[in-house]
Amino acid sequence: MADFLGLMKQAAELKSKMEAMQTELESSEVEGVAGGGLVAVTLNGKGDLKGVRIDETLIKPGEKEILEDLIVAAHADARRKVETLMKDKMQSVAGGLPLPPGMKLF
């Protein structure tokens, strides 16, 4: 019975840590870049788009497709950074909890 109570206590602590982590992720921002920094996309830690910055040298008639591709690439870069941020935070939160191999909490 003591093991069960200990596990319940760990689960409650994990829940509290998860809530704190989610709040922290919402306030975190990452920037993805493409084209050598000519296009930048800012996402919050939950992956919501917060901003786009485009260097004026890219705004030329006839180069719309290049600009669109750079925006997509910058967004993909930012998403990878968000996923890394989430993974790092989850490891710090669930570090002491005995989870089965392969179990994901996010």
For residue range 41-71, what is the model confidence (pLDDT) as tens digits?
999 988 889 999 999 998 888 888 999 999 9
Whether pTM exceeds 0.85: no
Q: In residues, how long is the chain? A: 106
How is the beta sheet containing 49-54 ordered, strand by strand?
Answer: 29-34, 39-44, 49-54
Percent of the chain with pLDDT over 90: 42
Q: What is the pLDDT of residue 104?
A: 54
Cα 37 to Cα 33, 85, 105, distances in angstroms: 5, 21, 33
At 18, the amino acid letter reads M
Is the confidence at residue 97, as pLDDT, over 90?
Answer: no
Any idea where the domains of the chain sit in the sequence? 26-87
Three-state DSSP class for residue 51: strand
- Assign domain 26-87 one CATH number from 2.20.25.90, 3.40.120.10, 1.20.1730.10, 3.30.1310.10: 3.30.1310.10
Helix H or strand E encompassing 34:
strand 29-34
